[in-house]
């Protein structure tokens, strides 16, 4: 029982990341009809917003202490972050909360990046075949990766959760199962964060006039345009919103997985499987499939399962995708006519 | 009379011409065959070495530091800088004027921590750039693959960071040499310390990187701990570069194990250790004992990446910059002055390997692999930071003292991350080469 609860929790926080990326992918596809292979790179860029923000607020004052020497004979450098020099304890707290605060930095950066990317590149490929869109966005993803590698290096850069959520929650005690079920606080925070963002995106599309117009545009773009609504401008904003969602997901994921330039590609392939399993163009499908595949992947990693089918944890997602596409060719919640000639 | 006189006929003229031509050509033929007697025999005033390190991928941190060390070694060999370990290495015939009077040049390759990419870059350095020796590593899978290639190509391979028993065990080759210690030695050095610190009644759970190094590391640790009386609760293989290890760590919580042995290295070790600590394993009590985590192969670069999680964790290492012998101090001084940071153990082994190769060439008086192998086999030396060391002739493995270290609880600087718990003497980590099988085979000196 304990093991099952733990694997469900594992699956939910992993599924949260899959769902957030897949949600952005589906938004882009549903509104603009663009298959965006650079979406994983947007997740990675978001993670590096957290790294950049941390580097920015950790800029250090360096004082040479001539009384102490390094092993190679130079004066020892005493380093203190400026933010602590200027603000004392408040500065220390700001440093501690660097990852959640980086969201405030990531949102405008990713929004601007998303809008510029759509206006500068993606809009030229609206009426081109999906293969062209895949090639150009995949190329863009590689360019973004190489830029990040150039400036930040190839190695992962660890980011740390605030001290208050650095430990583990004793979930077993809450559920009356003893103290054998513990789970890191930050992973619970991430799951809650992804649930809030997903809910926010759905609420935005469901309960605002802007969202209503976007949904109408997703159904029948021409009709909405004929009504005198500039649907293209709204779709541009939606592309920016998708970039923001991916960026926030990436920034908050950094204490779980130290970011490196390649992390977007690692998530991209899985997220496309999630979108296809959920059903192309279905927001609900993307979210449901994200969590479903996250949980299945975690269960497949259990020793009991692996002792029956060795290596199943590496292929379970693809296996499920094959089974679902054979039985439900449009995915779990796919609509008729989407990506069908 | 006429019979006694030799008649100079057309046939005689042809014979004489052919003989004279052959005689004149002979030295050139011999020179040419001498030049082509082994692969990439240096011509002119320089010799090219090939540094094949991971510049991207899971072990890129180590790779970057290895490259720094190689460049420093080249500088010192060519007479630049303060000479570093050239001043402490003995017996040494290095003069600081290159190797055999030839200026040392180098080319680099990116192994990407992938065997196929590593072989491709090594092949390019041998075939296109004319490298007479290849060195590098940071992954045993890569090192073994490149060692095999060098054997086929007929050049010397001086392994960098590679810790699998197989490198100088079942996959050993006559043209390959390893200065770095191995998984067996880690187990042998850690055993007594684990017994002293954690006792004889323990249950260990292994998470193991699923490739040659992980397998041999797990086997060595399992043999060592079981010999102490520990039980092995479970051994689980994890894919290299898994990133999120949560699904592998959660089963540990309820396995009844009270020790987690992480047979991971580089980025994998940083992630798995950090996540194991996040899951509260170090705060746990199992079987009435504190839960402990052991990382058999440690490096300062990994410790830097893991941050607070490394504190108090036991492991082993080939060398640490805090050692106070003259050779280590000389190397740290040179490296620190050049790059502003102390060297890692990966940097140390690469620097030492380059000097050892150069010295072997000087001793042999040639770059010919056959003679260089002879110089290195059984070579005993000191003044390289590990105390008296020997390149064992039977498997080309260096034997020296091994360090058991612990993540420093109270670091005095950003580099002071490991404290040396014990210097395990060489005699305690020696073994019969037959236990790992393999065959060195003949030296390959073919032309290329």
What is the DSSP code string of A35-90? --TTHHHHHHHHHHHHHHHHHHHT-EEEEEEEEEE-TTSSEEEEEEEHHHHHHTHH
Cα separations in angstroms, A257 against A9, A243, B244, B277: 16, 20, 6, 14
Q: Which of B56, B76, B77 is nearest to B335 (CA)?
A: B76
Task: State the pLDDT at residue A7.
Answer: 85
**Contact A71/B305, CB-based, under 8 Å?**
no
Residues B326 and B312 in one domain: no
Is residue A340 situated within a structural domain?
Answer: no
Classify burial at A213, counting beta carbons within 10 Å of its beta carbon; exposed 0-12, middle 13-18, buried 19 or more.
middle
Residue B193, token pair as written in the block = 């310390």
Q: Is B239 on the interface with A (CB under 8 A)?
A: yes
* Three-class SS state of A33: coil
Question: Is residue B442, in this structure, part of any structural domain at all?
Answer: no
Distance CA A34, CA A281 (A): 11
Interface test with A, best of B55, B59, B250 (most A CBs within 10 A): B250
ipTM: 0.79
Q: Return the DSSP state at B165.
A: G
Which chain B residues in 196-215 lie under 8 Å from chain A, judged by CB atoms? none
| HSE-CB for A5 with a 13 A CA cutoff | 18
Q: Which of B280, B291, B327, B418 to mutate to test the interface with A (most CBs of A within 10 A)?
A: B280
Provide the pLDDT for residue A340. 56
Looking at the structure, do residues B144 and B193 belong to the same domain, yes or no?
Answer: no
Structural domain range at position B204:
184-317
pLDDT digits (tens, 9 = 90+) for B145-196: 999 999 999 999 999 999 999 999 999 999 999 999 999 999 999 999 999 9
Q: Identify the residue whose tokens are 């992954």.
A: B139
Domain region containing A82: 2-327
Query: How deeply is B50 buried, as exposed, middle or buried, from its count of CB atoms within 10 A (0-12, 13-18, 19+)?
Result: buried
Contacts of B117 (CB under 8 A, 6+ apart): B110, B111
Domain ends where: B357, B385, B400? B400
Q: Is residue B18 part of a domain?
A: no
Q: Do B321 and A153 touch (CB under 8 A)?
A: no
Per DSSP, the residues of A79-143 read EEEHHHHHHTHHHHHHHHTHHHHHHHHHHHHHHHHHHHHHHHTGGGGTTS-HHHHHHHHHHHHHH
Neighbours of B246 (CB within 10 A): 28
Residue A237 parent element (H or E): helix A231-253
CATH value at residue B284: 3.40.50.2300
User: Quick check: B246 and A187 CB within 8 A?
Assistant: yes
Average pLDDT, consecutive stretches of 10 residues, N- to C-terminus, chain B (448 residues): 46 54 46 61 94 82 91 97 95 95 96 90 95 88 93 95 92 96 94 94 94 89 94 91 84 90 89 89 88 91 82 94 95 95 94 98 95 96 96 96 93 87 94 92 82
Phi and psi, residue A168, nearest 5°? -120, 150
Question: Would you call B23 exposed, middle or buried from its count of C-beta atoms within 10 A (0-12, 13-18, 19+)?
Answer: exposed
Question: Last residue of a domain, which of B272, B300, B317?
Answer: B317
- Residue B32 in any domain: the answer is no
Type and span of the H or E element at A203: helix A185-207
What is Dmax (Cα atoms) for chain B?
Answer: 118
Whether residue B437 lies within 8 A of chain A, CB to CB, comes out as: no
**Which residues does B366 contact at the CB level (< 8 Å), separation at least 6?**
B100, B372
Tally of domains in chain B: 2
Facing residue for A156 by CB, picked from B247, B267, B275: B267
Tokens 């950066």: give the residue: A109
Is A314 in Cβ contact with B306 (below 8 Å)?
Answer: no
pLDDT in tens, B67-105: 999 999 999 999 999 999 999 999 999 999 999 999 999
Q: Hey, how many other C-beta atoms are within 10 angstroms of the C-beta on B96?
A: 13
Do residues B249 and B340 share a domain? no
Of B60, B278, B332, the CB nearest to A186: B278
Q: Which two tokens stand for residue B32?
A: 């040419």
Determine which helix (DSSP H) or strand (DSSP E) holds B156, and give its type and residue range: strand B156-159
Report the candidate in B432, B387, B423, B400 with the shortest Cα–Cα distance to residue B192.
B423
Judge if B58 and B177 occupy the same domain. Answer: yes
Do B169 and B190 lie in one domain? The reply is: no
Preferred mutation among B251, B252, B305, B340 to probe A, highest tally of A CBs within 10 A: B251
Compute the CA torsion angle A16, A314, A140, A329 (nearest 10 deg): -80
Contact B278 A263 (CB under 8 A): no
DSSP string over B63-93 = HHHHHHHHHHHHHHHTT-TT-GGGGT-BS--
- From CA B410, how far away is CA B419, in angstroms rounded? 10
B339 & B278 share domain: no
pLDDT of residue B12: 55
Residue A111: Cβ within 10 Å count: 17
Query: Which residues 406-425 of B have a C-beta within 8 angstroms of A?
Result: 413
pLDDT along chain A (341 residues), means of 10: 82 87 86 85 96 95 86 84 92 95 97 94 86 91 91 83 89 77 90 93 91 85 87 89 94 91 85 86 86 88 81 86 89 70 52
Q: Is residue A251 part of a domain?
A: yes
For residue B250, give how far its alpha carbon lies from the nearest alpha carbon of chain A (Å): 6
Domain boundary residue, one of B299, B317, B335: B317
Residue B10 counted as domain residue = no
Residue A161: phi and psi, rounded to 5, are -70, 155
Whether B395 contacts B169, CB under 8 Å = yes
What pLDDT does A17 receive? 87
Partner A contacted by B25 (CB < 8 A): no
Check A71 against B250: CB less than 8 A apart: no
Distance CA A256, CA B274 (A): 9
**Rounded (to 5) percent helix, strand, coil in chain A:** 70, 5, 25
What is residue B25's predicted lDDT score, i.e. its pLDDT? Answer: 47
Residues of chain A with C-beta less than 8 angstroms from the C-beta of B279: 168, 182-184
C-beta atoms of A302 and B332 within 8 A: no
In a domain, A341, yes or no: no
Identify which of A6, A7, A155 has the shortest CB distance to residue B60. Answer: A155
Cβ atoms of residues A133 and B34 within 8 Å? no
- Same domain as B359, residue B291: no
Which residues 6+ apart lie within 8 Å of B265 measured at CB? B59, B163, B209, B213, B297, B299, B302
Chain A contact present for B343, CB below 8 A: no
Question: Does A284 map to a domain?
Answer: yes
pLDDT at B10: 53
pLDDT at B112: 86
**Residue A9 within any structural domain of the chain:** yes
Shared domain for B150 and B271, answered yes or no, is no
Question: How far apart (Å, rounded) are the C-alpha atoms in residues B150 and B173?
Answer: 9
Q: Do A184 and B278 touch (CB under 8 A)?
A: yes
CB A113 within 8 A of CB A122: no
Name which of B234, B247, B337 is nearest A7 (Cβ-Cβ).
B247
* A72 to B337: CB separation less than 8 angstroms, yes or no: yes
Q: Are residues B56 and A149, on separate chains, in Cβ contact within 8 Å?
A: yes
CB-nearest partner of A73 from B267, B333, B342: B333
Are residues A71 and B342, on separate chains, in Cβ contact within 8 Å? yes
Q: Cβ separation of B280 and A168 shorter than 8 Å?
A: yes
Q: Looking at the structure, do residues B189 and B165 belong to the same domain, yes or no?
A: no
The DSSP call for residue B340 is S
| DSSP states of B239-251 | -TT----HHHHHH
Let me know if A63 is exposed, middle or buried by CB neighbors in 10 A (0-12, 13-18, 19+). exposed
Contact A297 B247 (CB under 8 A): yes
The tokens for B99 are 């190797």
The closest CB to that of B270, out of A76, A154, A258, belongs to A258
DSSP H helices in B229-314? 246-253, 266-278, 300-306
Torsions phi, psi for B130 (to 5 deg): 70, 35
Q: Are the Cβ atoms of A160 and B243 closer than 8 angstroms?
A: no
Of B251, B305, B335, the CB nearest to A158: B305
Q: Answer yes or no: do B279 and A258 touch at CB < 8 A.
A: no
Q: Do B278 and A168 touch (CB under 8 A)?
A: yes
Per the domain annotation, does A176 fall within a domain? Answer: yes
Collapsing DSSP to helix, strand or coil, A175 comes out as coil
> Domain tally for chain A?
1
Give pLDDT, residue B366: 95
Q: Does B245 touch chain A (CB under 8 A)?
A: no
In-domain check, residue B268: yes
């Amino acid at each position: 029982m304990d093991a099952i609860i733990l694997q469900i929790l594992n699956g939910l926080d992993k599924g949260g990341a899959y769902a957030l990326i897949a949600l952005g992918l589906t938004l882009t596809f549903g509104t603009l009809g663009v298959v965006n292979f650079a979406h994983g790179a947007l997740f990675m860029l978001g993670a590096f917003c957290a790294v950049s923000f941390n580097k920015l607020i950790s800029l250090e004052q360096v004082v040479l202490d001539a009384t102490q020497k390094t092993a190679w004979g130079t004066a020892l450098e005493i380093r203190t972050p400026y933010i602590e020099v200027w603000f004392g304890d408040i500065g220390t707290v700001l440093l501690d909360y660097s990852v959640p605060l980086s969201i405030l930095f990531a949102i405008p950066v990713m929004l601007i990046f998303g809008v510029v990317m759509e206006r500068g590149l993606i809009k030229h490929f609206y009426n081109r075949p999906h293969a062209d869109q895949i090639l150009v966005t995949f190329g863009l993803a590689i360019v973004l990766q190489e830029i990040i590698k150039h400036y930040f290096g190839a190695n992962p850069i660890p980011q740390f959760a605030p001290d208050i959520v650095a430990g583990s929650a004793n979930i077993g005690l809450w559920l009356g199962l003893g103290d054998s079920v513990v789970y890191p606080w930050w992973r619970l925070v991430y799951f809650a964060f992804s649930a809030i963002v997903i809910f926010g995106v759905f609420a935005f599309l469901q309960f605002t006039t802007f969202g209503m117009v976007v949904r109408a545009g997703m159904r029948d773009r021409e009709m909405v345009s004929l009504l005198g609504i500039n649907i293209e401008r709204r779709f541009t904003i939606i592309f920016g919103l998708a970039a923001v969602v991916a960026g926030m997901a990436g920034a908050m994921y950094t204490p779980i997985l130290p970011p490196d330039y390649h992390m977007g590609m690692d998530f991209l392939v899985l997220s496309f499987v999630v979108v296809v399993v959920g059903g192309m163009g279905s927001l609900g499908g993307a979210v449901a499939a994200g969590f479903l595949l996250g949980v299945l992947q975690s269960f497949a990693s259990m020793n009991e399962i692996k002792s029956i089918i060795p290596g199943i944890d590496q292929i379970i997602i693809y296996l499920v995708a094959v089974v679902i596409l054979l039985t439900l060719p449009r995915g779990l919640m796919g609509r008729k006519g989407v990506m069908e000639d | 009379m006429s019979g006694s006189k030799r008649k100079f006929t057309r046939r005689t003229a042809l014979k004489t011409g052919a003989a004279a031509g052959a005689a004149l050509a002979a030295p050139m033929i011999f020179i040419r065959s001498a030049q082509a007697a082994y692969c990439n025999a240096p011509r002119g005033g320089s010799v090219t070495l090939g540094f094949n390190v991971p510049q991207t991928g899971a072990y890129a941190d180590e790779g970057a530091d290895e490259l720094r060390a190689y460049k420093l070694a080249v500088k010192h060999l060519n007479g630049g800088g303060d000479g570093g370990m050239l001043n402490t290495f003995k017996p040494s015939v290095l003069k600081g004027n290159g190797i055999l009077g030839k200026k040392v040049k180098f080319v680099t390759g990116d192994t990407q921590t992938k065997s196929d990419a590593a072989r491709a870059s090594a092949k390019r350095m041998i075939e296109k750039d004319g490298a007479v020796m290849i060195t590098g590593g940071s992954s045993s899978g890569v090192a073994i693959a490149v060692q095999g290639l060098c054997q086929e190509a007929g050049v010397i391979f001086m392994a960098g960071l590679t810790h699998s028993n197989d490198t100088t065990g079942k996959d050993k080759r006559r043209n390959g040499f390893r200065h770095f210690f191995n998984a067996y030695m880690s187990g042998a050095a850690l055993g007594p310390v684990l017994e002293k610190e954690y006792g004889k009644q323990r249950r260990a759970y292994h998470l193991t990187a699923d490739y040659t190094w992980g397998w041999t590391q797990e086997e060595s640790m399992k043999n060592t701990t079981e010999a102490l009386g520990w039980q092995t609760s479970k051994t689980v293989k994890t894919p290299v570069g898994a990133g999120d290890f949560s699904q592998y760590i959660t089963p540990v919580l309820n396995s009844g194990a009270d020790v987690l042995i992480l047979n991971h290295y580089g980025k994998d070790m940083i992630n798995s250790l950090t996540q194991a600590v996040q899951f509260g394993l170090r705060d746990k009590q199992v079987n009435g004992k504190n839960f402990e985590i052991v990382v058999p192969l440690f490096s300062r670069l990994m410790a830097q990446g893991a941050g607070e999680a490394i504190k108090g964790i036991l492991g082993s290492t080939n060398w640490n910059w805090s050692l106070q012998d003259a050779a280590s101090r000389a190397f740290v001084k040179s490296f620190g002055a050049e790059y502003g940071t102390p060297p890692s153990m990966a940097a140390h082994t690469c620097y030492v390997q380059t000097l050892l190769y150069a010295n072997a060439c000087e001793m042999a008086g040639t770059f010919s692999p056959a003679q260089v192998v002879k110089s290195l086999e059984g070579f005993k030396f000191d003044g390289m930071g590990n105390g008296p060391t020997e390149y064992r002739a039977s498997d080309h493995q260096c034997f020296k003292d091994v360090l058991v270290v612990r993540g420093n609880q109270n670091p005095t600087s950003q580099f002071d991350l490991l404290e040396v718990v014990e210097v395990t003497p060489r005699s305690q980590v020696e073994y019969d080469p037959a236990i790992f099988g393999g065959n060195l085979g003949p030296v390959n000196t073919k032309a290329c």
